[in-house]
Chains A and B, each alone.
Chain A
Amino acid sequence: MKNNNESIKISGAEAVIQSLLAEGVDLIYGYPGGAIMPIYDELYKFQEKLQHVLTRHEQGAAHAAQGYARTSGKVGVAMATSGPGATNLVTGIADAQIDSTPIVCITGQVASHLLGSDAFQEIDIIGISIPVTKWNYQITKASEVPSILAKAFYIAKSGRPGPVLIDITKDAQFEEFDFKYEHCKGIRSYKPVPDLNMESLKDAAEIINKAKKPMIVWGQGVILGRAEELLKEFIEHSGIPAVWTILGVSAIPTSHPLNKGMVGMHGNYGPNILTNECDVLIAIGMRFDDRVTGKLETYAKQAQIIHFEIDPAEINKNVYADVAVLGDCKISLKKIIPLINKDTYSSWIYRFDSLMEIENEKVIQNDLFPTKKGLTMGESIRTINKYTKGDAVIVTDVGQHQMVACRYTNFIKSKSNITSGGLGTMGFALPAAIGAKMGAPGRQVIAIIGDGGYQMTIQELGTIFQTKTAVKIVVLNNGFLGMVRQWQQMFFDKRYSSTEMVNPDFVKIAKGYYIDAEKVSERNDLDPAISRMLSSDKPYFLEICVEKEDNVFPMIPTGASVSDIRLS
């Protein structure tokens, strides 16, 4: 296609490929099957322009598309056939919905005359995916392909990003029509970015300027809004201490003097306690998830809340905002900075530092520099930091290792922490790491996974091997579903119901896929093993056998107030 406005007769299937190319897509993840074969036939013809990565399960395709989107900042694309192919995507779509990740999923569907007949591999994926998509649509005529795909990409990436699913009947893939592509520039019923109200911005500035103990809590919205530099400027200009939610972590370097750590269930001691002491809480691109707020009735009740947010539905959803600054944080931050007075807040910042000292003494030292025999997750992360110097993308799964990795990784660059936050999808990390590496091919990508989650999508080792994607896989093996076991220990009187895992020889499995692999269980072997792994330019698997019954602290028990955070 030389000219997008020139129309030529092509099939619906080819139109899908042409539309993807017109959207700048050069990489997709997927798995073929009956109802999507015409599109795969076109992919074969276009393989030089559009790379297709065959994952080993459709869930892997969806997570890989997420990982790709999160490191590249572009829209990830996943494809699957009808029926089970489509339902297998659903977990990834749901994960993308709750974590605002822009992906477009394309599913094949039985021919339109068979819809509703319970045909082979027919499933109502439109109905199934409604609650977990930002938008979805079933194409039954080839002529709909270009405009609907243009809409799909526009919706996925604009405003608060999210997943879009497009289901295409097989007859629409075969049908020929005059193809013409136009990018979507707007939809009359959809306002992606609300207008910024200068009055609320001024109100916010006035409150911030009067504050004695202000605190910034930023989330992933800052990364999605590409406002990392402005956030840094805002923090430095105002002198206000800032803390992060798990999805926001890499937006500001870990070592920044005003970066005071993580809020939430396994966040840092100071940020959680001081949430209930600050006089102004400035939330930027975060949504007051229950894992962040703990008991809502006692969350920051003493503080005035200022909420910078792109999605109007998030305002007053969980926490009442005294001032809501709706809009794109890149614009609102830029406009508020000149209105903010500089301060040092020295005694207030001292509170953060002195609470960090307590946490350091009671928790962090033992995690990072253990004196007991067994290896800890914390020292594994510390050793990884030593070699990466913070310049790596850390992809984590869900559970204890996730909390430890996010707490202790030294980040220096944005878009470096890829994790399943809202949905808490075990099995996310391995496929997401494939996408993360392909979205940032020049960067070191390290997947840190527990022995439980690893086995949920372990088949993606096949994808890694086939595509020679040089991801580094670290399995922190404690032989337990560690987080559930921790809860059983703390709240269910140590009744370890179905949490102990009898694991296979992970090294042999990796080697079965011709991936270099090793296992360590002694402290002296840890550092050299991590060094070998990180200096390899190939995929590499490292199993680290850690203490079986270590717990993650600090911790806010479910339903407790953030200030009731426990250190043991």
Chain B
Amino acid sequence: MASAVTPQVPPPSPVQDTTPRTSDSELLVRVARGDINAFEDLYLRFARPVLGLAQRLLGDPSRAEDATQETFAAIWSSAKSYLPKQGTGSAWLFTVARNSIIDRARERSEPGVGDAPDTASDERGPEERTKVGWVTWQIHAALEQLPPNERDVIELAYFGGLSQSEITEQQRLPLATVKTRTRAGLARLAPLLEEVHDEPA
């Protein structure tokens, strides 16, 4: 090998099947260095939480998709400002997403997040919506950490309203397997959701 060397770009990362799972913080540090593979991994983890937050705050699926694009562009361009000592990667991503979505709502000059209503309403105010949004964000982000076979049965039960027997029929699985996967998924979520807070850490 020649003695003269130059800085090198790392080779493309393989498809991530990480064991143990790379932390959100580590991915953000890699994104800050321009690692597009880490950026894609972050997208796979947080696309649903971001899109869900945007839909709740904007109320319009089409605008929510646009806001999600802008949120991930903001994550890509500003990941350098994330410092692990200041909090979890998930909390930083929530803050970036919330700010990006609120900016979008304000840019359009339409009634939206952060605008004071003209009349009294039973709807939640911006602060309450943000609080609820943070709790929902944590739950949706935790679901993304489950193995797909456990996530599927839990989502069919909790969000699809299917009984264990109905899941058995739909998934063509033995009832015992459905129960085992559901319970394993709930147990896997327990430590992830143990310290769900009302406000980002």
Q: Note whether A and B form a binding pair.
A: no
